Amino acid sequence: MTIRLLGTGAADGIPAFYSNSRVSEYARLKGGKDVRTRSAALIDGCVKIDLPPDTAMQLNRDGLSAMDWACLIFTHGHDDHFDVNQIQYAMHPFTDKEFLEFPIYANGTIIERIRERYPSWPMELVETKSFNCFYLCKYRVTPIRARHKEDEDAHNLIIERDGRSLLYALDTGIWTPETWEFLKDFNIDALIIECTDGRAECDYDGHLNIKKCAEMVERLREQGTLRAGAPVITSHHSHKGDATHEELIQLLAPHGITPGYDGMEVTV
Ligand SMILES: [Zn+2]
Ligand SMILES: [Zn+2]
């Protein structure tokens, strides 16, 4: 199973378009791995996770086509993950498709928002609930409850195929005991985890900085949820975290964590 990180930036990406923060300015000058578009991922080229406003740019950059998607899974309804307006481009009048050719899996709040926006557009919408797994093609997907958005069932996702597993945990916050307990039954082969706030202090519980991220990873290793030697890669970085890609490499290395970057692929 291969996961491609299409975007590894937080809400406004890096460089943040309305900011001259040190990290934004550095990314403007340097380019490369310091430029981070809004977070999204693609499993084996066909399972799409989230639909940020940067979707078209990400696909064009990597030579990919949304026609290869078998499904679209939403984690939660924040704008950087769920840009409802992008869905229309997969159907008439923008294409010759009379219906959406792949199903959308999302929590009830998001499904309501899609129905409001596209009342009569033919598309298959499947409601997801934390801790209830579902099957699609060769994959078993288990959403787990993130501690991120009070007014909806925000998910992190465990994706399994052929005995291999991946935990995609962006916009997670520090999980509640219910999620920690549920995770004890899993042996994860690779973890993609948010590190939104970098080396900044954060008092908001719905995101992680390096310190909190390292504590989460350590606890996952201790309780056996994360297999020994499993790669741990970060995503969802904000320019306000005040760390360039190179600085993140140095800061995360002592914890056995590697910073992700746009276009990175991880195979488990
Ligand atoms: Zn986000
Ligand atoms: Zn969010």
Q: Which residues surround ligand 1, an ion (CB under 5 A)?
A: 78, 80, 171
What's the whole-number mean pLDDT along residues 211-221? 97
92: left (phi over 0), alpha (psi -120 to 50) or beta: beta
* pLDDT recorded at residue 200: 96
Instruction: Please give the distance, rounded to the nearest whole angstrom, from the Cα atom of residue 98 to the centre of ligand 1.
Output: 31
CA distances from 124 to 48, 118, 129, 154, 260 (A): 15, 12, 16, 20, 32
Query: What span, in angstroms and rounded, lies between the C-alpha atoms of 66 and 43?
Result: 13
Considering every ligand atom, which ligand is closest to the CA of 150?
2
* pLDDT recorded at residue 91: 95
Instruction: Please give the distance, rounded to the nearest whole angstrom, from the Cα atom of residue 97 to the centre of ligand 1.
Output: 30
Whether the predicted pLDDT of 205 surpasses 90:
no
Instruction: Please give the distance, rounded to the nearest whole angstrom, from the Cα atom of residue 113 to the centre of ligand 1.
Output: 18
pLDDT in tens, 163-198: 999 999 999 999 999 999 999 999 999 999 999 999
Whether the predicted pLDDT of 203 surpasses 90:
no
Instruction: Please give the distance, rounded to the nearest whole angstrom, from the Cα atom of residue 210 to the centre of ligand 1.
Output: 16
Q: How many CB atoms lie within 10 A of CB 107?
A: 21
Considering every ligand atom, which ligand is closest to the CA of 149?
2
pLDDT in tens, 233-268: 999 999 999 999 999 999 999 999 999 999 999 999
Q: How do beta strands 125-127 and 104-106 pair?
A: parallel
pLDDT in tens, 51-109: 999 999 999 999 999 999 999 999 999 999 999 999 999 999 999 999 999 999 999 99
Q: How do beta strands 134-136 and 2-7 pair?
A: unpaired
Instruction: Please give the distance, rounded to the nearest whole angstrom, from the Cα atom of residue 173 to the centre of ligand 1.
Output: 11
Query: What span, in angstroms and rounded, lies between the C-alpha atoms of 264 and 170?
Result: 16
Instruction: Please give the distance, rounded to the nearest whole angstrom, from the Cα atom of residue 127 to the centre of ligand 1.
Output: 20
